[in-house]
Amino acid sequence: MIQIPKENQIQGTSFIVDGFRYKDESLNHYFLSHFHTDHTIGITKNFKKNIYCHWKTKNLLVSLKGIQPNIIFGFEYNQSIFIDNIEIQFLDANHCPGSCMFLFKFQDGKRIFAFLKNESRIDVLYLDTTFCDDSKSIFLTEIEAANYILNQILEIQKNCEKKDLKFLCLFGTYTLGKEMVVLTVAKNLGYKIYANPRKYKILMLCLDEEDKKLITQDPKQTPIHFFDMNKIRFDLMRKYLQEINQQTQTKIIGFKMTGWSLDSKKSRNSIQNIRIQQNAENMIFNIPVSSHCSLSELTQFVGVLKGIKQIIPTVNTESPKVQSQIKKMLEHKIQYDIISIIHSKIQEKQKQFKIEDSIIKKEKSKKKRSKKTQTEKRKTLETKPKKFQAKSQQNFNEKKGLLNFFPISPKKIDIVCLTQPTAPLKKPNIKGTQTTLFQFYPSIKPYFSPKRPKRKKKPKKNFIQKTIFDYFVREKNQKEIVSNQNNVKKELKQLKLTDFFEIPKKDK
């Protein structure tokens, strides 16, 4: 039996990933991650084993390599299939059109090879370690690269208009990859993109319908062209200009977008790592942007996953640098897990505080509603209550308080009215007036009078507002309410309550 590298065979299965050169009678299921040359080695017209991939990759295999369509099974992203009681899910790898990650789920709960947001843990991870090195660790994202290129083209376009020159932008690409950067630039500039017959055929098989409309086969229709990555050189670009019969007075700008253009000796800032070459009117931009993950992105990726027990590198597997970086990732993973646990606990506490705050707000809103209903009831009284002022909070809050001073029993008392002062208080001197009354007289229902209209005269700046209570006593059989202030004074003297209440003096 052929010895298969561990990075190409899934543990405990006969599944092969991107290892089509390893052929054996016992191997029947092959998985293709994407349509790049180094991953399709071994796929020929005579290949008869089952191939599982994305439907875009299937179209490319059938049309470009002439593989029989009955042995290729194409699937959508997030779709799952079952082979030998093992569930395989296809996930978007965001590497190139049709690129996939594969999540293998076993019956014992073990999960291998890919990342899934909703899953709780991954046991074994097969990791792309193309740039698992410190010297190649910072790249521009595709969005950053598109913004940078767009700004450069706009400046070049202005300069060419001043000099009566035309310009031609050549974007270096491989078979697949970097298409989204070029499409983003073309959409913002309002141009179409020229593609040669082979590139045009590939794009028509894997692009969306809207993006297909931006591709043209007429090189003179647009100044933006797809170009071979290996031909981004001054002499070959000038030769290409002659082949398409363009005017000689044309400025050629080449964009070489690859992670291998990164200069490790320069600054760690990815923008400063862009190298610009110039020859007369022609320019070449070497932009460090890659479809592979950088070291920092790989570390973040590993940190997000839970329960990783083993990481298997798929590129430069025997390199000591790669092995040391994997060890560091696992160590960083432990620290990341500790931080994530602490962060989750903090979030839980914050949620609890939010729930408690919402409960308190609801209770406050209920109290406000109850006060409104009480004011509506108070409007039925024929006369307005009189104002009295509490001398001290301590005397008023005594539990024995008023009961000892009343000659009549609390059962005969029908109404105890408390009203707020004419001007609202920011910090009342006595808090909890309603609950305090219930402590004194459990059988008495307190009523709050409606708010009085504001006075026309504004209060003085140094005026100290005090809490004023209106106190009324009415027996059940008594029809008239005490309304005269002098009568109330006499009532208070008889009840011996003058120590607790006094009438406020008018300001001079």
Q: Give the pLDDT confidence of 278-288 residue by residue, as tens digits.
A: 887 789 999 88
- Same domain, yes or no: 131 and 146: no
**Residue 373: its pLDDT value, please?**
62
CB atoms within 10 A of CB 432: 11
The last residue of a domain, from among 287, 305, 333: 287
Which of the four pLDDT bands, split at 50, 70 and 90, describes residue 457?
low
Q: What is the pLDDT of residues 200-247, one digit of tens each?
A: 999 999 898 999 999 999 998 999 999 999 999 999 999 998 888 776
Domain count within the chain: 3
- Residue 26: which CATH number? 3.60.15.10
Domain assignment present for 350: no
- Same domain, yes or no: 214 and 229: yes
Of 189 and 325, which is predicted with more confidence?
Answer: 189
Q: Which of 33-37, 357-361, 364-368, 398-402 has the lowest mean pLDDT?
A: 398-402
Domain assignment present for 169: yes
- Look over the chain and give the mean of its residue pLDDT values, rounded to a whole number: 73
Asked whether the predicted pLDDT for residue 252 surpasses 50, the reply is yes
Of the candidates 379, 19, 153, the one whose C-alpha atom is nearest the C-alpha of residue 2 is: 19
Q: What is the pLDDT of residues 422-451, one digit of tens each?
A: 333 333 344 433 333 333 333 434 444 455
- Same domain, yes or no: 239 and 146: yes
The last residue of a domain, from among 287, 305, 325: 287
Domain assignment present for 5: no
- Same domain, yes or no: 126 and 157: no
The last residue of a domain, from among 287, 310, 325: 287
| Average pLDDT value for residue range 381-409 | 41
- CB-based burial label for 176 (10 Å; 0-12, 13-18, 19+): buried
- Same domain, yes or no: 418 and 305: no
Of the candidates 61, 54, 52, 9, the one whose C-alpha atom is nearest the C-alpha of residue 30 is: 52
Report helix, strand or coil for 141.
coil
- Same domain, yes or no: 160 and 211: yes
Of the candidates 405, 389, 383, the one whose C-alpha atom is nearest the C-alpha of residue 484 is: 383
Task: State how far the Cα of 16 lies from the Cα of 27, in Å rounded to an integer.
Answer: 8
Task: Supply the range of the domain harboring residue 455.
Answer: 388-502
DSSP E strands, 215-260: 215-216, 224-228, 250-257
**Residues in contact with 77: Cβ distance below 8 Å, sequence separation at least 6, in sequence order:** 54, 90, 91, 92, 100
**Residue 404: its pLDDT value, please?**
39
- Same domain, yes or no: 397 and 335: no
Print the SS3 string covering 423-467.
CCCCCCCCCCHHHHHHHHCCCCEEEECCCCCCCCCCCCCCCCCCC
* Residue 311 amino acid letter: I
Domain assignment present for 2: no
| Average pLDDT value for residue range 363-375 | 66
Domain assignment present for 358: no
- Same domain, yes or no: 72 and 22: yes
- Same domain, yes or no: 414 and 324: no
Q: What is the pLDDT of residues 68-101, one digit of tens each?
A: 999 999 999 999 999 988 899 999 988 888 999 9
Q: Are 122 and 114 in contact (CB under 8 A)?
A: yes
Q: Report if pTM > 0.85.
A: no
Domain assignment present for 379: no
- Same domain, yes or no: 247 and 148: yes
**Residue 471: its pLDDT value, please?**
40
Q: What is the pLDDT of residues 458-491, one digit of tens each?
A: 554 444 343 333 444 444 344 444 445 556 566 5
Q: Are 396 and 436 in contact (CB under 8 A)?
A: yes
- Residue 201: which CATH number? 3.40.50.12650
- Same domain, yes or no: 273 and 215: yes
Most confident of 308-322, 355-369, 413-427: 308-322
Domain assignment present for 383: no
Residue 118 CA, chain-centre distance (Å), reads 15
- Same domain, yes or no: 148 and 269: yes
Which of the four pLDDT bands, split at 50, 70 and 90, describes residue 453?
low
Domain assignment present for 308: yes
**Residue 342: its pLDDT value, please?**
66
